[in-house]
């Protein structure tokens, strides 16, 4: 078994690569390093620096390394920015996926685990999001991920592609001090960087209809997420059935206030977050069930909130001033 991980030099992709290695599966990384880091790729893992848009380069990587399946993590992942950059978002996430599927067809590779997103749901009107919840994406990013799922379904009908899509919510934590989230739009990196610079973090709105007035979101540990990608790949190799879509959610969620409290406790930095007005469009609560994924692809919340914070903070401290600002 050899699996290509697109975006394998990024935050989530690098954890998937490590999980493949831990499972005894040979990974190959393809990444253009637009948001990834070559140092995230282990020395003993083949690395192909190429864009997904370069179909011939992708096909060459598939053939050269005798790849048997693809875990497709690469993409432009900034939902908010996608509103200002829709064409870039669609090029990277839709055209890139078409290019990848074309290369896979040419190289006779017919298995894919797709990194989808909770953004496909938009703002759900239910307390607990299941796979059957209506999809109503509210950004070009969310739309591009939903189109990606459609592309896989079409490729199945036309070409026999075996596939599944994993929709996940707020990915946090770290499986190693050498791997960390560098997104300028995610809560943990934002708060950690502010604390690192001696600034005070902020909460956007504390008057929501939630237990403590702050937004409730679903936070999952990146290492737990990676295990389920590998479990899905192994089921495909074994010819075992998979659902077309899985949610990877906690079933409970945590509020922004709870996150701030955990960060204060774990870091030992005493701070009281500043409360600002609500951000337009922020729903009070988005939490998903992971029951189907627990049944089929070893989904389990192995890390509690404090462990998520502790691992992420440890990686941030280890990076020090070398962390991308």
Rounded to whole angstroms, how far apart are CA atoms 141 and 84?
11
Range 213-224 burial, b when 16+ CB lie within 10 A, else e: bbbbbbbbbbbb
Annotated catalytic residue, options 11, 78, 90, 141:
141
Rounded to whole angstroms, how far apart are CA atoms 16 and 27?
9
The residues that bridge with 72 in the sheet, in sequence order, are 6, 114
Q: Which two tokens stand for residue 215?
A: 């937004």
Rounded to whole angstroms, how far apart are CA atoms 95 and 68?
22
Task: For residue 10, count other CB atoms closer than 10 A to its CB.
Answer: 28
Q: Is the dihedral of CA 251, 257, 261, 263 positive or negative?
A: positive
SS3 71: strand
Active-site annotation holds for 180: no
Active-site positions read 141
């Amino acid at each position: 078994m050899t699996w290509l991980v697109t975006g394998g030099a990024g935050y989530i992709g690098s954890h998937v690569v490590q999980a493949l290695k831990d499972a005894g599966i040979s990974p190959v990384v393809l990444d253009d390093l637009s948001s990834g880091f070559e140092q995230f790729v282990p020395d003993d893992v083949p690395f192909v620096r190429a864009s997904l848009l370069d179909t011939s380069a992708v096909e060459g990587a598939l053939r050269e390394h005798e790849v048997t399946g693809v875990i497709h993590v690469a993409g432009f992942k900034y939902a908010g920015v996608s509103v200002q950059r829709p064409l870039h978002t669609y090029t990277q996430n839709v055209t890139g996926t078409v290019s990848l599927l074309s290369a896979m067809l040419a190289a006779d590779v017919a298995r894919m685990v797709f990194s989808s997103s909770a953004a496909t749901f938009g703002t759900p009107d239910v307390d607990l999001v299941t796979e059957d919840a209506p999809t109503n994406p509210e950004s070009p990013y969310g739309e591009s991920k939903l189109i990606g799922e459609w592309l896989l379904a079409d490729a199945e009908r036309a070409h026999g592609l075996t596939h599944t899509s994993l929709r996940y919510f707020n990915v946090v934590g770290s499986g190693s001090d050498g791997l960390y989230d560098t997104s300028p739009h995610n809560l943990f990196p934002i708060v950690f960087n502010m604390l690192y610079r001696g600034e005070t973090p902020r909460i956007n709105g504390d008057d929501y209809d939630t237990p403590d007035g702050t937004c409730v979101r679903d936070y999952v540990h990146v290492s737990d997420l990676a295990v389920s990608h590998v479990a899905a790949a192994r089921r495909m190799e074994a010819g075992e059935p998979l659902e077309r879509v899985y949610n990877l959610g906690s079933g409970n969620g945590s509020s922004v206030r709870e996150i701030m409290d955990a960060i204060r406790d774990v870091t030992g930095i005493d701070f009281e977050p500043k409360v600002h007005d609500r951000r337009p469009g922020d729903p009070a609560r988005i939490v998903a069930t992971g029951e189907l994924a627990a049944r089929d692809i070893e989904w389990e919340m192995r890390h509690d909130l404090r462990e998520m914070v502790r691992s992420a903070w440890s990686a941030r401290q280890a990076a020090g001033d070398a962390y991308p600002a």
